[in-house]
Structure 1
């Protein structure tokens, strides 16, 4: 299965929820990183980790499909 077909294939309900959680984590992390005020280093570090973890979680969840052909 090619990557394009896999991305367009139906995603199970559990992974749809995980994808949405990942998108929310990425949004929170991006908001922390783009804050117009100076934040402590630990907060910006956590924001970076949240953004990366959310992006990876969303991408992995989107590419998970069901295989009903068996």
Structure 2
């Protein structure tokens, strides 16, 4: 069982190191920007309404998920079955 988990982690590592298609590079950049905007909202030195803080948290969550998923996308020819 532990061997299969290690194989999956190694496969994910190899996948992240391969070339990312151009569309997913743009999507990854957009995710990073969203996460940065959310972080700047949460780290603001002034007191913000609860709605703004909630929106900032969702921006961080969405941006980080978009970035992670986009990083693992590879060209179909590079996939190993």
Number of residue pairs aligned between Structure 1 and Structure 2: 70
Structure 1: unaligned runs, 5 residues or longer: none
The Cα offsets for residues 34-68 of structure 1, whole Å up to 9 and x where unpaired, read as 11110000000000000000000000000000122
Root-mean-square deviation (CA, aligned residues, Å) is 1.5
Superposed structure 1 runs of 4+ greater than 2 Å apart: none
Unaligned runs of 5+ in 2: 1-7
Larger-gyration structure (1/2): 2
Whose RCO is larger (CA < 8 A, sep 6+)? 1
Answer 1 or 2: which has greater helix percent.
Answer: 2
TM, length-normalised to structure 2: 0.82
